[in-house]
Amino acid sequence: MGPQSLMVRIAKALSDDDAKTAAEYFASIKPKQWIRVVESDTVPMTHPAGGLLVRNADGGTEPIGHRIIELAEDQNRFELRDPNAGFVAYVPMGSIQKGKEMVATGGGKTIPCGICHGQDLKGVADIPSLAGRSPSQIVRQIIDIQTGSRNGPKAALMKPVVTKLSLDDEINIAAYLSSLQP
């Protein structure tokens, strides 16, 4: 069972009171910077482990290409479930500035993100915050909306907004948004 299926199953089992209690609890948590974004031409060599990428034990680097590599800052602290063990996201050189321009103007392919998500990109009413989120999560959400894997009323509103974005656009947008203070 995938994470989304599990979450749907859990959500369906919640009472309205439980859902309200959970929502109040999560709304009370103040966001903190969790991801450090680093522009780089090269990244540590990695391999998948438990749904995440981890650094190869023998080290080494490779070209980043057109991708984001997101790793625990300290794998040992992460494995010990240290709540203060953050992540580093390696993004291509220049992607933060390109993303800033795309987010601010739409780059001729979309609309500025601040129109719906607020000028500070920290959300408005039930429109979510984008600032400081995981870049891989941002890209995954955009692709899921583009492909129809994610649907529903909010996804339907986003579909025309993300339709013309290329993977490079998505990487740039994610790099910039993730570099912001949540």
- The pLDDT tens digits of the residues spanning 110-125 come to 999 999 999 999 999 9
Terminus-to-terminus CA distance in the chain, angstroms? Answer: 31
Nearest 5°: phi and psi at 49? Answer: -155, 115
Q: Give per-residue pLDDT as tens, 36-63.
A: 999 999 999 999 998 889 999 999 999 9
State pLDDT tens for residues 134-162. Answer: 999 999 999 999 999 998 888 999 999 99
Angle at CA of residue 130, ends 24 and 39, nearest 5°: 135
Report which secondary-structure segment, H or E, holds 53. strand 52-55
